[in-house]
Amino acid sequence: MSKEVQPTVLVVDDDPDFVAFVAATLEGGGFRVLRAYDGVEALEIARRTPPDLVTLDLQMPRKTGVLFYRQFKSEPRLRSVPVVIITGLRQANSYTAPFVDAFFDFNDPAIPKPDAFLDKPFDKESLLSLVRAKLAAPGKPEPGSDVQPGP
């Protein structure tokens, strides 16, 4: 009997508690999780072990999510990896929301727009559904959809 390979998700956020929450949610949903706490560490991990999907915060030390995203999508072997931006900035206040929206409203053919946004706070099922949808290939069941929740 062959064991199916779990899709790998790289979770990038500078808040260790948030990373733990997202990682536990994804692992419970049948995904393998890599963790990074800033953009520098995330890029190193992604180059060493290319993930199947990235969840990305925007405000982080050393290298922001914005800089990480541009570098990540500039690398040919990582360019096709879906990126889900998870941020509270779009709802934080009237000053930050336009910044986030404007940043990703650029027309640079070399760097595609993010695959999805997920606003904080969110529930576990919203995260799992979004990740499964972004990883699903036509004609295949969504990754992790056959995993039953534990007791």
CA dihedral defined by 134, 41, 33, 106, rounded to 10 degrees?
-10
- The confidence score (pLDDT) of residue 141 equals 42
Determine, yes or no, domain membership for 1.
no
Domain enclosing residue 57, as ranges: 8-134
Determine, yes or no, domain membership for 149.
no
Question: CATH no. for residue 19?
Answer: 3.40.50.2300
Determine, yes or no, domain membership for 151.
no
Please compute the mean of the pLDDT values over residues 98-122 and round it to a whole number.
72
Question: Which of 36-40, 71-75, 124-128, 136-140 is least confident?
Answer: 136-140
Q: What band does 24 get if pLDDT is binned at 50, 70 and 90?
A: very high
34 bridge partner residues:
10
Determine, yes or no, domain membership for 150.
no
* Domain total in the chain: 1
- The confidence score (pLDDT) of residue 148 equals 41
Cis preceding linkage at 121, omega within 30:
yes
Determine, yes or no, domain membership for 113.
yes
Residue corresponding to tokens 């949808």: 133
- Interior angle at CA 43, CA 117 and CA 98, nearest 5: 30
Give the H or E element holding residue 10: strand 8-12
